[in-house]
Amino acid sequence: MKNFYYHIPTEVFFGKGQIENLAPKIGDYSKKVLLVYGGGSIKRTGLYEKVIEKLVSHGIAVFELGGVEPNPRIDTVRRGVKLCKSHEIGAVLSVGGGSTTDCAKLVAAGALYDGDPWELVLDNGKIKEALPIFTVVTIAATGSEMDRLAVISNMDTNEKLAVFSPYFHPKVSILDPEYTYTVPKIQTAAGTADIMSHVIERYFNPYEGAYLQNRIGDGLLKTCIHFGPIACEEPNNYDARANLLWTSTLAIDGVTWRGNEVGSSAHPMEHELSAYYDITHGIGLAILIPHWMRYILSEQTKPRFVEYAVNVWGVDSALPDDEIAKAGIERTHAFFESLGIPMRLSDLDIDETHFDEMAEKAEKRTKFSYVPLSKEDVKSIFKAAL
């Protein structure tokens, strides 16, 4: 196992009614908060009114940044930064999914930065501080509510970039599974694929001594396999929503990959698809993951595929290794498909037009993954997924 540093400073309040803790916690930091939310789901579900009521009755003035896009854009971040600066706002609250939280993170950093916030995305070394960040999660997917990552898009330049900062860990996150009941089936499926991808991409690593991390990974993946279909079919099933929600938070916080870290692989490829075609993150991942797996399966990687197939999918360990490894990949593909996810890029109206430039950009990160992927490798995977 490699040496590592692990520090998660986020306070998590998990379960029904935990919203009661939000306003007092924000009040400890500021009497002015920027409420960041997406395209309107929180207004339809009534969560918006509830949050405002809690904040106002606690003497906190609320300013609003609504309309954050899935694949949040730098222009929206700029609007939020302007609000924070002009009203001297002291805290940022995201109520929504990963897009909303990622936007809130950049707003929080941009509010304390003199230049344009896109400069922070291009160079995280420029992030020296951020306003305190709070989240109320409404969808199980990214884990942004506890991690130090934000992903922001610039549609003018077809860039979707991940930016890391220790200042991005939220101070407090409220995880009430009931708030995820209204997530549509396809977004529930996409979220499940995203969670699984956060585990799978790191499961395939060369470090034999890090046994524990993959056993935690087995548990997280099996939880998704068990509860993903249930949440899709029974949206108000508390246990399904609760298990998925906590799995999403744990899947990316480092518990499965500190000590055996490799660069991610499908994520950099998917971010290019989103940057050019504005697709749903988890759907792009579900399409790419099985093709990436088929592409990297070799004599050298086969033992890890066998471990994955037997532990995660229960494939018969008495079969020949080649069969076991392939069965694990095909089970992964079939599972995503069974959730109702379209499994070809052409289903999303994506063709080869931008493959060359997308692969060139993805390569900057995929060359650090378990099996390093060159531009040509990425193009081959894109083509296989068409």
Among 10, 76, 94, 99, binds ligand NZQ (CB under 6 A): 99
Q: Is 60 helix (H, G, I), strand (E, B) or coil?
A: coil
- State the Cα–Cα distance between residues 106 and 130, nearest whole angstrom: 8
Q: Rounded to the nearest 5°, which phi and psi values hold at 156? A: -65, -35
Among 177, 191, 217, 259, binds ligand NZQ (CB under 6 A): 191
Q: Which two tokens stand for residue 195?
A: 């969670």
Q: Which of 125, 246, 239 is nearest to 174 (CA)?
A: 246
Nearer to ligand NZQ, 154 or 182 (CB): 182
Binding partner of residue 180 among ligand NZQ, Zn ion, none, CB under 5 to 8 Å per kind?
ligand NZQ
Smaller CB distance to ligand NZQ: residue 66 or 219?
Answer: 66
Decide: is 252 part of the binding site for ligand NZQ (CB under 6 A).
yes
380 binds, among Zn ion, ligand NZQ, none (CB under 5 to 8 A by kind): none
Measured CA to CA, the distance from residue 76 to residue 105 in angstroms comes to 12
384's tokens: 């296989």
Tokens 């344009």 -> residue: 116
> Which listed range, 135-143, 297-305, 346-354, 371-379, lies at the site for ligand NZQ (CB under 6 A)?
135-143
Q: Is the dihedral of CA 252, 169, 270, 361 positive or negative?
A: negative
The site map against Zn ion for 181-210 (x = CB under 5 A) is -------------x----------------
Binding mask 160-189 for ligand NZQ (x = CB under 6 A): -------------------xx-xx---x--
Say how far apart CA 320 and CA 149 lie, in whole Å: 40
141 binds, among ligand NZQ, Zn ion, none (CB under 5 to 8 A by kind): ligand NZQ
Q: Which of residues 43-72 bind ligand NZQ (CB under 6 A)?
A: 45, 70-71
- Closest approach, Cβ 89 to Zn ion, in A, equals 29
Q: Choose, by CB under 6 A, the member of 15, 27, 39, 235 that binds ligand NZQ.
A: 39
How far is it, in rounded angstroms, from Cα 296 to Cα 220? 23
User: Minimum CB separation from ligand NZQ for residue 8, in Å?
Assistant: 13
Number of residues that bind ligand NZQ (CB under 6 A): 34
CB of 366 to ligand NZQ, least distance (A): 15
> With CB cut-offs between 5 and 8 Å by kind, which of ligand NZQ, Zn ion, none does residue 217 bind?
none
Contact (CB, 8 A) for 382 and 345: yes
Return the number of the residue (194 or 272) whose C-beta is nearest ligand NZQ.
194
What is the per-residue burial (b if ≥16 Cβ within 10 Å, else e) of 61-90? eebebbebbbbbbbebbbebbebbeeeebb
259 interacts with, out of ligand NZQ, Zn ion, none, CB within 5 to 8 A per kind: none
SS3 assignment for 34-57: EEEECCCHHHHHCHHHHHHHHHHH
Q: Give me the amino acid identity at 5.
A: Y
CA distances from 132 to 102, 146, 149, 215, 223 (A): 13, 13, 15, 34, 32
**CA-based angle 260:214:290, to the nearest 5?**
95
Residue 194 CB, nearest approach to Zn ion (Å): 4
- What single-letter DSSP state applies at residue 369? B
Site for Zn ion (CB under 5 A): how many residues?
Answer: 1
Q: Which does 138 bind (CB under 5 to 8 A by kind): Zn ion, ligand NZQ, none?
A: ligand NZQ
Binding-site ranges for Zn ion (CB under 5 A): 194
Binding-site ranges for ligand NZQ (CB under 6 A): 38-41, 45, 70-71, 96-100, 102, 138-139, 141-144, 147, 149-151, 179-180, 182-183, 187, 191, 194, 252, 267, 281-282
